[in-house]
Amino acid sequence: MSKIKPSQGAPYARIMGVGGYRPTRVVPNEVILETIDSSDEWIRSRSGIATRHWASDEETVAAMSIEAAGKAIADAGITPEQIGGVIVSTVSHFKQTPAIATEIADKIGAGKPAAFDISAGCAGFGYGLTLARGMVTDGSAEYVLVIGVERLSDLTDLTDRATAFLFGDGAGAVVVGPSKEPRIGPTVWGSEGDKAETIKQTESWEAYRNGAPDKFPAITQEGQAVFRWAVFEMAKVAQQALDAAGITADDLDVFIPHQANERIIDSMVKTLKLPEHVTVARDVRTTGNTSAASIPLAMERLLATGEAKSGDTALVIGFGAGLVYAATVVTLP
């Protein structure tokens, strides 16, 4: 018989608060057209994107995260000292070590929480949310801060006609805490590493260090392959998340997919047969693709504008480089 004492966590977990930060500089498609041969109409028709935000030198990964975290903590009605875990999902923090989560934890006054970074691309928020739920229910932390943050403008090749218009910067954060009822459903997540080459960094940091190439690495993708995968496979994952939560599309109030491309969003809505009453996040139009930050940023905007309200049932799904994905049903804070 085991002598290990069982964990004393909460029976369930929930999202208690949400916060976001968008850089002050708004970049319209006209700026992108200065370096690629395209048009505003083409960009909008292919992606739905009209503007995106790009960070200044002062709007670092840490600075944006701290702003979003402060809003989420205030929204949750707790103090920074109560945070027992900080999880940061990002692919654009350029220091291999230490984890940026440790700096953020210190700067927000969280004391000595567990703090670590994860790299799961555009599914990173879902991965972080799942880890946070486990920390709360197993008792290793009462409150966990989950941040998705990116400065993808640093990894954008402005001469690449296929990707130059896609990416934006920003940070989104949520606080996960204890609940007496299930407010974060089971996660359907996974990876398809055989498709890893469809979204990738052009060159490794090692190759860049050694002088080949002389151009700073950027994110590139095989657009049509990614589009087909997202449209046909991710709708299946979204349905599995609904099934795992024990609900149907009719039970949903809100759908918050990764804000990669509005055509992908429209296709998923159609495939899932979402009823007209379901509010669909379309933050991509003015924020672009912010990878790990896109879902919490979209969630924050829907709540701020009143398009969604506290207590609504929402399906969230992220998908991207890896290829990786994560979907779950949550109750909005």
Catalytic residue list: 122, 258, 289
Q: And the tokens for 44?
A: 């909008």
Q: How far apart are CA 233 and CA 317, in angstroms?
A: 12
* Dist. CA 281–CA 260, nearest whole Å: 11
CA triple 150-155-160, angle to 5 deg: 130
* Residue 83 parent element (H or E): strand 83-89
- Residues near 178 by Cβ (< 8 Å), separated by ≥ 6? 9, 10, 11, 12, 13, 14, 136, 142
Residue type, 122: C
**Alpha-carbon span 173 to 125, nearest angstrom:** 9
d(CA 269, CA 9): 36
Asked if 114 contacts 140 with a C-beta cutoff of 8 angstroms, the reply is: yes
What is the length of the chain? 333
CB 78, CB 16: distance < 8 Å: yes
Q: Which two tokens stand for residue 49?
A: 């994107």
| Secondary structure of residue 167 in the 3-state scheme | strand
Asked if 172 and 67 count as a contact pair (C-beta separation under 8 A), the reply is no
